[in-house]
């Protein structure tokens, strides 16, 4: 058993932004919220999936909505605990631990805040292994845990309990409620026992976000190559294969809105040893990367657009002409690459024609 404390939060936020693969929202505000809770209540116990008791009630908590809203309408802060409490009332039982449903972006930080305030542990794992745009895109859902009942709460403590026949309907209804709540809500969902969590969660992802942030920080401190440090670091984890897909200058970003998502393309022109052009298509998160028309990486593998100097992640909404970027591709754990998983968050789930091919096979 280990803990996550104030001293880990900067690393965690830096790592969470990278696992966000362009989406998930800037972890800055979530990091400040978690820091505030840890200053008041101390560090949070991090339970590995193995350490989580079979019969422990584990509930996923986080935020839903548009990052652009969250950066303006700062959360109430108590609303995340209220969401947990609303679901607990529905279930007639209190949570023994919370778990992130998303490891990338802001939602990796919220469970830490809730755990600190409630004095319960957080389980080291999540349901996405990265960031995804919709709530059914969860290994929890893939491997049979119902998303419902789900609690959706606003800053007044107004709450909605959603019961629905599948996770996609839960997502659809919750999205509508979230808009009525001003574009951001606090949610609690995917209640499960510890034995189930061990079977369905992507393991170790909270610890991983801290590690990713730490690799970058330490490489900078010792003036080592930050990208080498990331590649070496991932090699020792269950994410395993990380490689630089491309490096260059952003020459074009086009965006449009489709089905409520920021859909678009980024074009990068090679610098240094990199020739030609890389094209990245995104839908909130980066989905697919082509180098001169040749597939180099595709969802659910991670495609991370990072600042070439600092290796800080650049979210899709912050992509701008002229930025010097390096694209890092990372393979995801096997639990995210089964045919059941690919049905839910593989290329076809995003309307892509291309079939999934593992990044390590694309050279």
Partner 1 sequence: MRIGIDVGGTNTDAVLMDGMAVKSWHKSPTTPDVSTGIMNALRTVMEEGGAAPSDISAVMIGTTHFTNAVVERKRLLEVAAVRLGLPATKGLPPMVDWPPDLGQALGYHRYLVHGGHEFDGREIAPLNEAELRAACKDMVAKGVRAAAITSVFSPVNSGMEDRAAEIIAEEVPGVALSLSHQIGRVGFLERENATVMNACLADLAAKVVQSFKDALGTLKIEAPFYISQNDGTLMTAEYVEKYPVLTFASGPTNSMRGAALLANAKEAMVVDIGGTTSDVGMLIHGFPRESSVAVEIGGVRTNFRMPDVLAFGLGGGSIVRDEGSRIGPDSVGYELTERALVFGGDVLTTTDIAVAAGLADIGDRSKVAHLSAGLIETAITTMHRMVDEAVDKMKTSAEPLPVILVGGGSILMSRDLPSASEIIKPDHASVANAIGAAIAQVGGEVDRVFSLEGLGRDKALAQAKDEASEKAIGAGARPETVQVVDIEEVPLAYLPSSATRIRVKAVGDLEMSA
At 184, phi and psi to the nearest 5? -145, 140
- What is the spatial distance between Cα 326 and Cα 342, in angstroms, rounded to a whole number? 27
Nearer to partner 1, 241 or 267 (CB): 267
Contacts of 259 (CB under 8 A, 6+ apart): none
Selected binder of partner 1 within 3, 94, 251, 275 (CB under 8 A): 251
Question: Looking at the DSSP assignment, which residues form a beta bridge with residue 153?
Answer: 159, 186
DSSP 338: S
Binding-site string for partner 1 from residue 130 to residue 149, where x marks contact by CB under 8 A and - marks none: ---x----------------
Task: Number of residues interacting with partner 1: please give it, by CB under 8 A.
Answer: 47
Selected binder of partner 1 within 117, 281, 301, 317 (CB under 8 A): 317
Nearer to partner 1, 8 or 317 (CB): 317
Considering only the stretches 42-50, 197-205, 247-255, 344-352, report the one whose residues sit in contact with partner 1 under the rule CB under 8 A: 247-255
- What is the spatial distance between Cα 34 and Cα 90, in angstroms, rounded to a whole number? 26
Is 324 one of the binding residues for partner 1 (CB under 8 A)?
A: yes
Is 85 one of the binding residues for partner 1 (CB under 8 A)?
A: no
Is 351 one of the binding residues for partner 1 (CB under 8 A)?
A: no
CB 362 within 8 Å of CB 297 = yes
Is 51 one of the binding residues for partner 1 (CB under 8 A)?
A: no
State how beta strands 277-283 and 261-270 pair. Answer: antiparallel
Subset of residues 168 to 187 that bind partner 1, contact rule: CB under 8 A: 179, 182-183
Please report how close the Cβ of residue 328 comes to partner 1 at its closest, in angstroms: 19
DSSP 52: S
- What is the spatial distance between Cα 314 and Cα 321, in angstroms, rounded to a whole number? 12
Please report how close the Cβ of residue 151 comes to partner 1 at its closest, in angstroms: 17
Please report how close the Cβ of residue 166 comes to partner 1 at its closest, in angstroms: 20
Instruction: Find the length of the chain.
Output: 363
Considering only the stretches 232-240, 287-295, 298-306, 318-326, report the one whose residues sit in contact with partner 1 under the rule CB under 8 A: 318-326
> Which CA distances in Å does 299 have to 27, 139, 163, 189, 296?
22, 14, 29, 24, 11
Contacts of 347 (CB under 8 A, 6+ apart): 287, 288, 298, 299, 353, 354, 355, 356
Is 39 one of the binding residues for partner 1 (CB under 8 A)?
A: no
Selected binder of partner 1 within 260, 276, 334, 351 (CB under 8 A): 260
Residues that bind partner 1 (CB under 8 A): 23, 29, 32-33, 36, 64-69, 71-78, 133, 155-157, 179, 182-183, 249, 251, 255-262, 269, 271, 284, 316-318, 320-324
């Amino acid at each position: 058993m280990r803990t996550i404390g104030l001293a880990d939060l900067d690393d965690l936020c830096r790592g969470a932004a990278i696992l966000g693969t362009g989406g998930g929202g800037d972890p800055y505000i979530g990091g400040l919220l978690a820091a505030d809770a840890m200053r008041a209540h101390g560090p949070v116990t991090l339970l590995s999936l193995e350490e989580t008791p079979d019969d422990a009630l584990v509930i996923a908590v986080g935020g839903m909505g548009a990052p652009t809203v969250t950066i303006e309408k700062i959360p109430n802060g108590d609303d995340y605990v209220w969401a947990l409490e609303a679901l607990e009332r529905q279930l007639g039982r209190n949570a023994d631990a919370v778990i992130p449903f998303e490891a990338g972006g802001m939602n990796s930080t919220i469970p830490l805040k809730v755990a600190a305030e409630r004095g319960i542990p957080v389980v080291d794992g999540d349901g996405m292994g990265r960031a995804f745009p919709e709530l059914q895109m969860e290994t929890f859902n893939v491997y049979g845990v119902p998303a419902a009942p789900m609690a959706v709460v606003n800053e007044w403590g107004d709450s909605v309990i959603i019961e629905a026949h599948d996770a996609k309907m839960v997502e659809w209804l919750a999205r509508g409620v979230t808009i009525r709540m001003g574009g951001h809500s606090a949610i609690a969902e995917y209640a499960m026992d510890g034995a189930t969590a061990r079977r369905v969660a992507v393991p170790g992802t909270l610890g991983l976000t801290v590690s990713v942030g730490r690799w970058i920080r330490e490489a900078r401190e010792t003036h080592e190559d930050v990208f080498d440090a990331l590649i070496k670091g991932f090699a020792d984890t269950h994410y395993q294969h990380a490689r630089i897909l491309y490096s260059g200058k952003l020459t074009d970003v086009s965006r449009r809105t489709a089905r409520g998502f920021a859909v678009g393309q980024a074009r990068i022109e090679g610098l240094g040893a990199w020739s030609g052009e890389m094209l990245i298509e995104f839908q909130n998160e980066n989905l697919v990367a082509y180098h001169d028309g040749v597939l180099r990486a595709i969802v659910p593998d991670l495609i991370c657009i990072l600042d070439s100097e600092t290796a800080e992640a650049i979210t899709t909404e912050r992509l701008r002409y002229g930025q010097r970027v390096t694209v890092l591709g990372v393979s995801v754990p096997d639990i995210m690459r089964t045919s059941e998983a690919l049905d839910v968050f593989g290329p076809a789930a995003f309307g892509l024609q291309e079939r999934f091919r593992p990044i390590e096979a694309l050279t």
